[in-house]
């Protein structure tokens, strides 16, 4: 090898041999310093409620332990009081061998807590996107990380308004609008990531409590940030097509039962997010590493009952134990092209087989399912007139009665004996069909036959009395989903549609007023 070749070899840019890098987001649950500013939460007033230097040191040690174990190259933090405490955390991390040379933080003088970044890459173009709805609303932090010293990656760190204390959706809508306004001003080639605590579920458009709905159903994370497309959540197949303006939520890579990083009593939720544009799937510059998204959940972040091991403040005292009420999330990125992986084929392809399964460990595709009944959050489906039916719960808004779909599911449940699909990740309408052959009639009504569970019966005639339907010499439990529809004893009924469900015992279920006629 010539001298010139040797020189060339040593000057080959390091980024050509780069490894994937990790980006994480972590709401660290109120990190306050020991200097009184007047904006602290009352629980964090210095030297009150056992918020002392010693207690703070425990909190810093615990956060440092988590961040060192994650070992991310960039970390978005939420609930950091100020630059002073962020610097203290940085010093703690450096002492334990987890150095972050660069950091950034917002500076809203009206807010008790800020959002921040720790980075092993140089941060430039640091700025804040102000939220004008309320003075105390936390700004969005924007910073550009220079990956391998050459690839600019914009990071948008968020902590949107929570649902407590008048946290209606319009408050979060303001964050989404400011963010999209800034994103729309970027060049189409600019790579960026949206991350942080958005205080919204990944499927908020379906899961929203109506008491927060003051925007006519318009949801910040779904409609404004465009994680919805044609009223379906943007999936990997769509994001790789190159559509501008839409965002892929990495929660969709996990099974429904795993989509949570926050726990409030028994309620688990996906409040923390990493949202990606199509630029991170285009084989140019930086790309997402497929299926690398995860929740960081070592055993020590849970207590003995598998509740999140949150920082404990009780009886007006900091106990000096715990970590945070959120779990960190993370994902990998690389300068190598995104690799689209072929979906794994499952051995389960029919509804009949689902009845033998208690827990799903993979995504399952069911082809040509026919929607026999669709009522609000409920739908009943089957694949042919002679195979079994099953109930779809809480995600059936996108399934139309009479429609034929290919659907992907990832969670089933047995509720009081009733088999249900409770996790649908994708549905694609194939066609519509006539339903006459799929329904059962009075001559088929052996309601205690377990093989008829979830079937839909039509045109049943009989009498209602004290919770039972009397027809063809049978006494069948009859349940009205809306109690006010329950008729008087002795009323003659013609049931147009009834679902054979199960709650402690087999029963016919009537969902709404259109499903029956009162006869004289």
Residue 469 reports pLDDT greater than 50: yes
pLDDT number for residue 137: 84
- 485-492: average pLDDT: 94
Torsions phi, psi of 37, nearest 5?
-115, -15
- 355-359: average pLDDT: 86
Q: Poorest-confidence range of 236-250, 255-269, 294-308?
A: 255-269
Residue 229 reports pLDDT greater than 80: yes
Residue 16 reports pLDDT greater than 50: no
Q: What is the pLDDT of residues 362-390, one digit of tens each?
A: 889 999 999 999 998 899 999 999 999 99
Residue 394 reports pLDDT greater than 80: no
Q: What is the chain's percent helix, strand, coil content, to nearest 5?
A: 20, 35, 40
What's the distance, CA 316 to chain centroid? Answer: 33
Token output for 405: 């779909």
3 state SS of 154: strand
Q: In this prediction, what percent of the chain has a pLDDT beyond 70? A: 95
- 153-170: average pLDDT: 93
Residue 7 reports pLDDT greater than 60: no
pLDDT number for residue 344: 65
Measured CA to CA, the distance from residue 461 to residue 516 in angstroms comes to 10
Residue 5 reports pLDDT greater than 50: no
Q: Which of 242, 262, 247, 237 lies closest to 194 in space, CA to CA?
A: 247
Q: What is the pLDDT of residues 408-466, one digit of tens each?
A: 988 898 887 788 998 888 888 999 999 999 999 998 899 889 899 999 999 999 999 99
Residue 208 reports pLDDT greater than 90: no
Domains and CATH numbers, the chain: 22-334 (3.60.10.10), 351-434 (2.40.50.200), 439-519 (2.40.50)
Q: What is the pLDDT of residues 28-47, one digit of tens each?
A: 999 999 999 999 999 999 99
Structure confidence at residue 343 as a pLDDT band (50, 70, 90): low
- 234-257: average pLDDT: 94
Structure confidence at residue 247 as a pLDDT band (50, 70, 90): very high
Residue 8 reports pLDDT greater than 60: no
Instruction: Report which secondary-structure segment, H or E, holds 426.
Output: strand 418-432
How many angstroms separate the most distant Cα atoms in the chain?
A: 104
Residue 10 reports pLDDT greater than 60: no
Q: Which of 200, 217, 280 lies closest to 246 in space, CA to CA?
A: 280
DSSP per residue, 129-148: E---S-TTSPPEEEEEEEET
- 102-111: average pLDDT: 95
Residue 11 reports pLDDT greater than 70: no
Residue 101 reports pLDDT greater than 80: yes
Residue 327 reports pLDDT greater than 80: yes
Residue with token string 């790789």: 240
pLDDT number for residue 360: 83
On whether the CB atoms of residues 148 and 335 are closer than 8 A, the answer is: yes
What is the reported pTM? Answer: 0.84
Measure the CA angle with vertex 106, ends 120 and 43; round to 5°: 105
Strands in 283-402 per DSSP E: 287-288, 294-295, 313-314, 317-318, 329-334, 364-375, 378-382, 389-393
- 83-103: average pLDDT: 97
Bridge partners, residue 498, by sequence: 457
What mean pLDDT, rounded, does the chain reach?
A: 91
pLDDT number for residue 345: 63
- DSSP secondary-structure letter at 344? P
pLDDT number for residue 18: 61
Q: What is the pLDDT of residues 163-203, one digit of tens each?
A: 988 889 999 999 999 999 999 999 999 999 999 999 999 99
């Amino acid at each position: 090898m010539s001298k010139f070749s040797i020189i060339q070899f040593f000057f080959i840019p390091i980024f050509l041999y780069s490894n994937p890098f990790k980006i994480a987001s972590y709401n660290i649950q109120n990190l306050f310093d020991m200097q009184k500013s007047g904006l602290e939460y009352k629980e964090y007033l210095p030297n009150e409620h056992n918020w002392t230097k010693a207690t703070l040191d425990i909190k810093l040690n615990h956060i440092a332990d988590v961040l060192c174990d994650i070992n991310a190259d960039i970390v978005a933090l939420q609930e950091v009081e100020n630059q002073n405490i962020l610097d203290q955390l940085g010093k703690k991390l450096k002492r334990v061998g987890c150095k972050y040379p660069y950091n950034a933080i917002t500076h809203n003088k009206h807010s008790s807590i800020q959002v921040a970044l720790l980075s092993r890459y140089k941060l430039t173009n640091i700025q804040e996107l102000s939220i004008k709805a309320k003075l105390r609303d936390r700004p969005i932090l924007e910073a550009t990380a220079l990956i391998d010293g050459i690839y600019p990656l914009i990071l948008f760190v968020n902590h949107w308004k929570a649902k407590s204390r008048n946290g209606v959706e319009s408050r979060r809508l303001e964050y989404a609008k400011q963010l999209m306004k800034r994103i729309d001003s970027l060049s189409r080639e600019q790579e960026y990531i949206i991350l942080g605590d958005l205080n919204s579920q990944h499927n908020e458009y379906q899961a929203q409590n109506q008491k927060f709905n003051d925007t006519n159903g318009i949801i910040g994370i779904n409609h404004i940030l465009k994680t919805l497309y044609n009223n379906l959540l943007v999936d990997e197949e769509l994001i790789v097509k190159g559509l501008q303006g839409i965002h892929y939520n990495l929660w969709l890579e996990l099974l429904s039962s795993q989509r949570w990083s926050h726990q409030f009593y028994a309620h688990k939720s996906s409040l923390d997010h990493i949202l990606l544009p199509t630029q991170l799937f285009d084989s140019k510059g930086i790309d997402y590493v497929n299926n690398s998204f995860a929740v960081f959940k070592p055993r020590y972040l849970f207590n003995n009952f598998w509740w999140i091991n949150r920082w404990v403040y009780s009886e007006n005292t900091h106990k000096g134990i715990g970590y945070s009420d959120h779990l960190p999330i993370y994902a990998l990125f690389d300068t190598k092209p995104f690799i689209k992986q072929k979906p794994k084929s499952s051995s389960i392809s029919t509804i009949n087989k689902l009845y033998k399964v208690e827990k799903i460990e993979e995504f399952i595709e069911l082809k040509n399912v026919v929607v026999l009944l669709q009522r609000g959050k409920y739908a009943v489906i089957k694949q042919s007139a002679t195979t079994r039916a099953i109930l779809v719960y809480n995600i059936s808004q996108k399934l139309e009665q009479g429609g034929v779909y290919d659907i992907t599911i990832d969670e089933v449940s047995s509720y009081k004996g009733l088999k249900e699909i409770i996790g649908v990740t994708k549905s694609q309408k194939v066609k519509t069909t006539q339903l006459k052959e799929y329904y059962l009639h009075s001559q088929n009504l052996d309601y205690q036959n377990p093989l008829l569970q979830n079937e839909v019966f039509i045109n049943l005639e009989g009498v209602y009395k004290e919770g039972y339907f009397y027809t063809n010499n049978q006494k069948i439990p009859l349940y009205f989903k809306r109690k006010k529809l329950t008729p008087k004893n002795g009323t003659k009924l013609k049931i147009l549609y009834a679902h054979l469900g199960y709650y402690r015992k087999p029963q016919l279920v009537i969902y709404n007023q259109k499903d029956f006629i009162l006869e004289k």
